Structure 1
Amino acid sequence: MYNSLTRIQNVFGFFTTVAFVVAAFIAASDFTYDRTPSAHIKTTNVQVVKGRPHYYSTKKEEYAIMKFSLDADLSSLFTWNTKQVFVYVTAEWTSPPSSSASAKSASATNQTNSAVIWDSIITAPSSDHLANIGPATLKKLRKSAAGKAVDPKRGLLSLKNQRPKYQITHPTGRIAETGDVRLRVHYNVQPWVGFLTWSQTEHDFGRWLRMKDGMSRAFTLPAVKKKDEGKKAKA
């Protein structure tokens, strides 16, 4: 009954119980820190082009290219339990109701459109070794955060006239002159221990406040510029 195997099982069971309890306390400690993220974003240049947005595209379609400027303070998201923060910007707009009966049924279930145009991963000093960057950049990161468990500067973003990583398209192939488009800043906090948490856009949760601002003014996508128009203007 009290052989070596039984004792090993008891020790292992006790160890896993203690580890689970400690992990639960670590995860719960995140709620004791204030989260006060803020961001200001605006568009600087918006174009709509007709062509093949990707090398694997089989046909030409309209796609939008949106440049933007972003000033964000996400430093409050970094605690001793933060592994990395995933930041991304989306373009959101609402599809107008269609007149055809078949399109009405389809659009009724998909009124809101959202597409990611830019993203970035900000690592904490304790997880710099996981960053997918070159050795020179990694050396600079480690030097700037030497001896720091938390580096608030990592959460400060200042982007001017930033080019998007991804173009925006639509299943219909048409996106020009779409109105009421807005850019919104999102974040996802990935802890060492605990649950993933996403940006709060509507409600506060205890000491975690929803993002201040974080959305651009509404704008309308321009029409596609035709090549013939430029030739006629010269003539």
Structure 2
Amino acid sequence: MYSSIVRLQNTFGFFTTVTFFIAFVISLSDFFSVRTPSVGVLKTTNLQVVRGRPHYYSSKKEEYAIIKFSLDADLSSLFTWNTKQLFVYVTAEWPSAGSQNATNSAVIWDSIITAPSSDHLATIGPIALKKLKKSAGGKPIDPSRGKLSLKNQRPKYQITHPSGQLASQEDVQLKLHYNVQPWVGILTWNQDQDWWNWKALKNGLSKKFRLPALKKKDEGKKKTASTGNRS
């Protein structure tokens, strides 16, 4: 009953209980931190629909959209002492044809913003890492983290559709998403309504827009030929 193995098991069980309790308290503390994420500007700056192979591994030609955008957002309130990193991404969404409730959604840009305590996890170069450490020196939370200012940003990913058609698509919107990844606790995503101290993301949707029609390659040749005949 009082063997070394039993005592070791009791000690390990007590240690595990204390560890889980501390982890629970840490994760619970996030609910007392005020979250007020907001978006100042989210708009398109250039739209283009092209027919071709969107990726080098694409087996066939199809229509794909290239959307450039500008974004000003303040997500700094999402960083607390328990925040490991913040995953931010922008999607283009539009209603699905033939269904009232279904929505098409495609990611066009994403980024990972690390907290000062986890900068070593970021896949960045030594110069950028040195600047991050300097900016966070002596601060538990860097107030500039989470503040995005993108002007005429090129998309990381082109938009495609299983039908292979995207030209002249209407009611398209850009939407900002975020995912808070803590050191201890559950992952939390952008919310549509207020939860006590956690406020819903404001102005996270852009105005609706229409994708341009597909440009024909022969149009430029015809215009050049007609100009040459007149001269």
Q: TM-score, normalised by structure 2?
A: 0.95
Q: Quote the offset at 1:185 in angstroms.
A: 0.3
* Residue equivalent to 2:110: 119
Q: Quote the offset at 1:111 in angstroms.
A: 2.5
Q: Quote the offset at 1:95 in angstroms.
A: 2.1
- Asked whether 1:90 is paired with 2:81, we answer no
Aligned pairs for 1:31-110 within 5 A: 31-39=31-39, 40-97=41-98, 107=99
Q: TM-score, normalised by structure 1?
A: 0.93
Q: Quote the offset at 1:6 in angstroms.
A: 1.0
Q: How many residues align?
A: 224
Mean Cα deviation higher: 147-156 or 46-55: 147-156
- Percent identical among aligned pairs is 71
**Structure 2 alignment gaps of length 5 or more:** 226-231
- Asked whether 1:140 is paired with 2:141, we answer no
Large movers: runs of 4+ above 6 Å: none
- In 2: Cα distance, 1:152 partner to 1:61 partner: 44
* Residue equivalent to 2:143: 152
SS in 1 for 2:137: coil
SS in 1 for 2:119: helix
- In 2: Cα distance, 1:212 partner to 1:152 partner: 19
- Asked whether 1:186 is paired with 2:177, we answer yes
- In 1: Cα distance, 2:32 partner to 2:194 partner: 14
- AA at the equivalent of 1:36: T
- AA at the equivalent of 2:164: G
Q: 2:212 aligns with which of 219, 222, 230?
A: 222
Deviations 1:34-55 (A, max 9, x none): 1000012000001000000000
- In 1: Cα distance, 2:161 partner to 2:75 partner: 31
* Residue equivalent to 1:26: 26
Deviations 1:135-160 (A, max 9, x none): 11111111110121111201110000
SS in 1 for 2:123: coil
Deviations 1:150-186 (A, max 9, x none): 1120111000000000000000100110000000000
- AA at the equivalent of 2:75: L
SS in 1 for 2:9: helix
Q: Quote the offset at 1:96 in angstroms.
A: 2.7
- In 2: Cα distance, 1:56 partner to 1:193 partner: 39
Aligned pairs for 1:173-212 within 5 A: 173-200=164-191, 202-212=192-202
* Residue equivalent to 2:5: 5
Aligned pairs for 1:164-179 within 5 A: 164-179=155-170
SS in 2 for 1:151: coil
